[in-house]
Amino acid sequence: MTSLPLNPRLQLKSPLLPFLLLSLLLTLASSTASADQNWQDLFDGNSLKGWQGNTELWRVENGMIIGEGPDGGPVPVTEFLWHEQEFGDFVLEAEFRIHGGNSGIQYRSEALPNGRAKGYQADLDAGHQYTGILYEASGRAILAPRGEVSRLHADGTRTTEGFLTGTDALIEKFDTNAWHRYRIIVRGQRARHELDGVQVCAFEDQHSNHQAQGKIGLQIHAGEPMRIEWRQVRIRPWDVLDGDPFTDVSMAKEVVEKKSAHWIWSSEAPDSGVEVTLSRRFNTTKTSTAQLTMTADNHFIAFLDGTPILRGIDWSQTYEHRWTLPAGDHELTVRASNEGGPAGLLGTLRWQIEGSTPQ
């Protein structure tokens, strides 16, 4: 792997900052417009059109799909709300809130008699013991625990290939009353689950019976009173810019200790409203898989060879972009701005040539 520090080139004072940021944001918006057009809303916000399920347990209210026991009481039987379409390789996003009980998102699944399901599930429960894991309903049960990158072999055995950092911290601060976002990326025999932008598990299923496509379903689990709320449920085809769900992960071979970030900025204390431009030239001899990870206090926009590829607006969040990097000379440029007080930028660019050891 190659890690590049970024060096200051110039600074611009605040009068130009609003105009520069507006221009850059408009450029970035136009570059992502075509990708946004590929999203398909599975929930229209007003009805269960396109879905099939037990209306005694599922309803639409205030722009949400709600799963709840009769009159708010115990759930008599496990049920699924199934979407009528089937999907193969895709990116699925859905926002949720859960109060009590257990739920989840079935994908590449099939509906079985008596309210059962068969297939992969992105699990979810109010106690967050299982939230984020990969579970196979009517099959092999837990396939990928939270925080692990797992390979499921043809003979039915499972090996842990590595660990994903940040999952424990994510669950520790999980607010049950807040909305959270599930993201599922599926390509071929590989998939990854993400929660609020954090990679929580990834897996490869090498078994010959793995399901290549199937239905999307939302679960309400039998038992104690519970309420699961869903909104902004949408899906789009997998795209090459989404990367490989299994290999394009921030994986460690061992569980690592938490470390403090080392911030990079200018040598002088920054004033309010200052923008700094940082750049680094580099060369790749062959087509590579690249990953840019970055955050800044307060804002940044990253460009590769003049094209915007990543932006951040919240210093408390880490942003990532993965893509296929062609061979040749390249320049990574980052424009970062500070609103006031301490300022910092943390950025790492890594790339690996396919079929070779990391550089």
Please provide the DSSP assignment of 8-61 as one string: EEEEE-GGGHHHHHHHHHHHHHHHHHHHHTT-EES--SS--TTEES-TTTEEEE
- CATH 2.60.120.560-classified regions of the chain: 40-239
**What are the phi and psi torsion angles at 343 (to 5°)?**
-130, 150
Query: Is the pLDDT reported for residue 101 higher than 90?
Result: yes
DSSP-assigned beta bridge partners for residue 185: 91, 192
Asked whether the beta carbons of 67 and 228 are under 8 A apart, the reply is yes
CA atoms of 216 and 219, how far apart (whole Å): 10
Biggest alpha carbon distance in the chain?
A: 68
Query: Is the pLDDT reported for residue 272 higher than 70?
Result: no
Q: How confident is the model at residue 8 (pLDDT cuts 50, 70, 90)?
A: very low
Residues for the chain: how many in total?
359
- CATH 2.60.120.260-classified regions of the chain: 7-32+271-353
> How many CA atoms within 13 Å lie on the side-chain side of 157?
4
DSSP-assigned beta bridge partners for residue 184: 92, 193
pTM greater than 0.95 (yes/no): no
CATH of region 7-32+271-353: 2.60.120.260
Eight-state DSSP code of residue 172: H
355 or 10: which carries more pLDDT confidence?
Answer: 355
pLDDT tens digits, 141-198: 999 999 999 999 999 899 999 999 889 899 998 998 999 999 999 999 999 999 999 9
Lowest mean pLDDT among 22-26, 286-290, 291-295, 317-321: 22-26
Domain 40-239 architecture:
Sandwich (2.60)
82, 55, 18, 14: which is closest to 233 by C-alpha?
82
pLDDT at 18: 45
CA atoms of 119 and 155, how far apart (whole Å): 18
Measured between alpha carbons, how far apart are the two ends of the chain, in Å?
4
| Interval 102-125 mean pLDDT | 96
Query: Is the pLDDT reported for residue 11 higher than 80?
Result: no
By DSSP bridging, strand 58-61 and strand 64-68 are: antiparallel
Q: How confident is the model at residue 28 (pLDDT cuts 50, 70, 90)?
A: very low
| Interval 5-19 mean pLDDT | 44
265 or 319: which carries more pLDDT confidence?
Answer: 319
Asked whether the beta carbons of 243 and 323 are under 8 A apart, the reply is yes
